[in-house]
Structure 1
């Protein structure tokens, strides 16, 4: 488990860490440097590594919640039943379309 969890959110399938508000005034030199400084390759590698680690941790937590709790098992069952119902409906529609096509010939 990650001991220093960061607050964040998922954006287009990627976990984005919410930045903490600056404690320095916005007009300071350091704040200006940070705004204009482009991330280095090493910065990007570290950020990506952290994102991957957090994503893996999220998947582990989700897996535990889905498979080790009644709520999770109920969720899986409901989704599975819905998929089965949708599949049956689709097969029925295909069979009906095929039947109509054969009758036209």
Structure 2
């Protein structure tokens, strides 16, 4: 599914002084990917986002007990996206923090 041709171009922002450009919009896997959304629907959604210029994907190890990260990884592999073209953030729930 290709994005409509009349969409505005994606805006990118620099991440600090790193030189890394991140799409102004990210796509998060929250509780849906790997859980409530069928795998093929997840793939379609991620592809539509990528085709629209989104390069920033967010997940966490607690989203659907880790399945969100797995399904996002499967989509990246399925479409043959280069890891260097993506910005992927994740979070660790309950990590020990220094007092």
TM-score (norm 1): 0.19
More helix, by proportion: 1
Q: Which has the higher contact order (CA 8 A, sep 6+)?
A: 2
Q: Which has the larger radius of gyration?
A: 1
